[in-house]
Amino acid sequence: MTDLLTNLTWHALSGPHASFAAGTSTARRYATGFSPIVGFADALHPDLDALLPFCTPDEHFYAIGWSGPAPSTWQVDMESVIVKMIWDAPAPVADTLPDVVRLGAADVEQVLALADLTRPGPFSTRTIELGEYVGCFDDNGRLVAMAGERMAAGTLREISGVCTHPDAQGKGYAKRLVTRLVAQQMQRGEVPVLHVMQGNAGARRIYERMGFRVHSEPVVRVISRR
């Protein structure tokens, strides 16, 4: 299971999410409109040029695990470290308050606006189709917090898109939403996982207190065609 998490993107794109993907037997990407993420059968030595027919020069993709030199056809636009975390605690008890609602097609405009404002990671117009998304609205009907599911492989299920509007910070929305998803996933026999940027120490501490533990801290890059 931890081996699946090491190269989760590839196992998702070549497995449960193959219908959302484009690419070859060595390199795949989420199709246009889903999350701009790429995966490789060999994450340490990615077959980047196999993706060329499936990408345009104006697209930027997240790639995890690869730190070698880029071929002449690609460039590295950003490099950082991402923390992979996996649930390592008993199932939590999720509250059942009615202000946590499932998000759907009617909420896409607000979902995209919140993601654009808060930048929770790679996000696009159809990302919420990859799993269940839940959120909280304020009294004016504005979406102020959300969390959802993205990649899946084996029994692993990724929690992603966790974000809160600046006006609603400090109210515990994110923790409640993540707890709701963790509880639901564990009821389905799944193991929750997530990613957090290394520099986001506050979020990492919260996730560790909730029951996640660090699995690994690989390189993450944003890349694009030259």
Pick the CATH number of 85-216 from 3.30.70.2190, 1.10.10.10, 3.40.718.10, 3.40.630.30: 3.40.630.30
> With bands split at pLDDT 50, 70 and 90, how would you rate the model's confidence at 98?
confident
Average pLDDT estimate for 76-84? 97
Residue with tokens 């919260």: 206
Task: Give the span between the Cα atoms of 69 and 131, in whole angstroms.
Answer: 34
> With bands split at pLDDT 50, 70 and 90, how would you rate the model's confidence at 97?
confident
Domain ranges of the chain: 2-81+221-225, 85-216
8 A C-beta contact, residue 48 and residue 158:
no
pTM (two decimals): 0.94
- Does residue 1 have a pLDDT over 70? no
Return the CA Rg of the chain. 17
Residue with tokens 């998803």: 181
> With bands split at pLDDT 50, 70 and 90, how would you rate the model's confidence at 113?
very high
For the domain made up of 2-81+221-225, give the CATH fold.
Answer: Aminopeptidase (3.40.630)
**Which residues partner with 75 through β-bridges?**
224
User: Residues 121-178: pLDDT tens digits?
Assistant: 999 999 999 999 999 999 999 999 999 999 999 999 999 999 999 999 999 999 999 9
123 three-state secondary structure: coil
User: Residues 3-16: pLDDT tens digits?
Assistant: 899 999 999 999 99
> With bands split at pLDDT 50, 70 and 90, how would you rate the model's confidence at 94?
confident
